[in-house]
A and B are shown apart, each in its own frame.
Chain A
Amino acid sequence: MPGEGSNWAGVDLSRHERLVEELAGRLEPVRRLPAPEARAALWLGATLGVGLILAAWNGTGGFMLRMHVPDLAFAAIGAVLTAIAAAFAAFATSVPGRSSRWALLPLPPLVLWIGASGLGCLREWIAPGADIPGAHAVSGCFSFLICVSVPLSVLIVVMLRRACPLRPNLTAALGGLAVAAAAAALLMPVHPHDATATDLLIHAAAVTLVIAANGLAGGRLLGRQVGTG
């Protein structure tokens, strides 16, 4: 009968007993991690703090004006929702036993964000003569996105590492998406231009860079840490 005797299907018991004793011997009390929802909210709160500082610094007049343009407003809403959904999905997938289907959560807002940004390009064709950013402004946007992304990435990786992401690459990519969407949302109040094709390309490049960097570095950072803890 399995379980009755001392040998379960050829399991090497003495080796496992030794490990059990060792792990029990070095057991220390741990502080239970808050629920993924709460931890995602914490990270989003920090992001919102950065946004408020930027808004106080730059003023929101131009931003409010641009929000009257439907596609810009939809792009902003899409970016914000993507950041929220991706952050929640990243924290949910970092906890064992939660379904990895949470990773699908950010897809609908992502479609809204990308779709609305794409519409902005179309508008540039339909209504030429809109405010096209020069090369200097474009590189400014790019460095803004990267500069905002780095601290947000570091924060989310540190927070995700505290849990146990069993699929580190998936979790890291979701974290990267959350960071990229948050950075794009934070750029909107400071962004002095309408969306254009160049602008969208720069956005796409920065967003891809952030997601890829998080996926590559984060996958390793969040990866197997067996035996270290």
Chain B
Amino acid sequence: MILAVPGGMAARSWALASGSDHGVDTALAGGRNDGGARMALEQELAALMAAAQGGDAAAYRALLKACLPVVSAIARTQGVRGEAVDDVVQDALMTVHRARASYDPARPFMPWLRAITQRRAIDRLRHAGRRPREVNDPLAYEAEVDPGPAPGQGLEARDRAAALARAVAALPDGQRQAVEHLGLRELSLDETAALTGRSKGALKVNLHRALKALRASLTQERE
């Protein structure tokens, strides 16, 4: 009996949901052997489903939890957005439950799950399409924001933070302390003066020079 989702299964589920998207696969499978990981996960899921057909609730729970990220990723690939993704996940899980007798463990699990999820996503999109909507609104169309995380979101912010940290580290000691305490930690002049043993006037001058130097070095880096 399998009692828990093996570590990393959720992460690998993401790679599977993406289908032929090798970018995601390589990112998640460490760039090597993603075909092997895919096969291993397929077999794991097929074994869990076979156990669930036999009434093993723990295996079933593990299977459904492993399916959650896959199902939501497939739904998003189908074009479902926002809260509707959650509705598709719920519909798909209930269909998986109802259709569990139709799964044949000799066949791969993913096409079975993908077919169910895609159909439920299409149902949801059709349902949404039947509600009256304003279609001739180019501005709203342009301004429509996908509330989900954009691909690579966070990477840019991390790059910016790293560049700033590098630029600050490259400053002379006095200027660096002024930026760190006054600019980044937002201490007052008095507190910084007490902490560093420098006069308030020197700190002001240092901060001014440091900001000027940072502006120059960051502008240069961006170019």
Q: Which residues of A contact B (CB under 8 A)?
A: 1-4, 8-13, 15-17, 19-21, 23-25, 27-33, 35, 94-98, 162-164, 166-167, 224-229
Contact = CB atoms under 8 A, between A and B. Distances in A.
Nearest to B117: A96
A1 to B, nearest CB: 7
A97 B57 contact: no
B99 A3 contact: no
14 contacts: A3-B10, A11-B89, A17-B65, A23-B60, A24-B61, A27-B56, A28-B55, A30-B100, A32-B53, A32-B105, A95-B102, A96-B115, A163-B101, A227-B94
Interface string B59-85: 011001100110011001000000101
B11 interface: yes
A224 B116 CA distance: 12
A166 to B, nearest CB: 4
A163 B86 contact: no
Given A3-B14, A27-B52, A21 B111 contact: no
Contact of A96 (B28, B58, B60, B116): B116
Looking at B58, B91, B103, the one whose CB has the most chain A CB atoms below 10 A away is B103
Nearest to A11: B72
A124 to B, nearest CB: 47
Of the four ranges (under 10, 10 to 19, 20 to 34, 35 or more), the interface on chain B belongs to 35 or more
A112 B101 CA distance: 36
Contact of A23 (B53, B64, B114, B116): B64
A229 B72 contact: no
A85 B58 CA distance: 40
A162 B102 CA distance: 8
A224 B10 contact: no
A32 to B, nearest CB: 6
Q: Do most interface residues of chain A lie in helix, strand or loop, or is the interface mixed?
A: loop
B57 A24 contact: yes
Given A3-B13, A16-B93, A225-B98, A8 B115 contact: no
A128 to B, nearest CB: 53
B149 interface: yes
Given A3-B12, A29-B53, 15 more contacts: A1-B11, A8-B14, A10-B147, A16-B68, A20-B68, A23-B93, A24-B60, A27-B60, A32-B101, A94-B102, A96-B113, A97-B112, A97-B114, A164-B102, A226-B98
B217 interface: no
Given A9-B149, A20-B65, A96-B116, A229 B97 contact: yes
Contacts of B89: 11, 16
B183 interface: no
B90 interface: yes
Contacts of B113: 96-97
Given A20-B61, A25-B57, A163 B85 contact: no
A3 B69 CA distance: 7
Contacts of B53: 29-30, 32
Contacts of A163: 99, 101-102
List the 10 closest pairs (A to B, CB-CB), nearest first: A164-B99, A29-B55, A229-B98, A3-B11, A97-B112, A97-B111, A166-B119, A30-B101, A3-B10, A24-B61
A82 to B, nearest CB: 25
B94 A226 contact: yes
Contacts of B105: 32
Contact of B148 (A9, A27, A30, A228): A9
Contacts of B190: none
Contacts of A2: 11, 14, 69
A10 B149 contact: yes
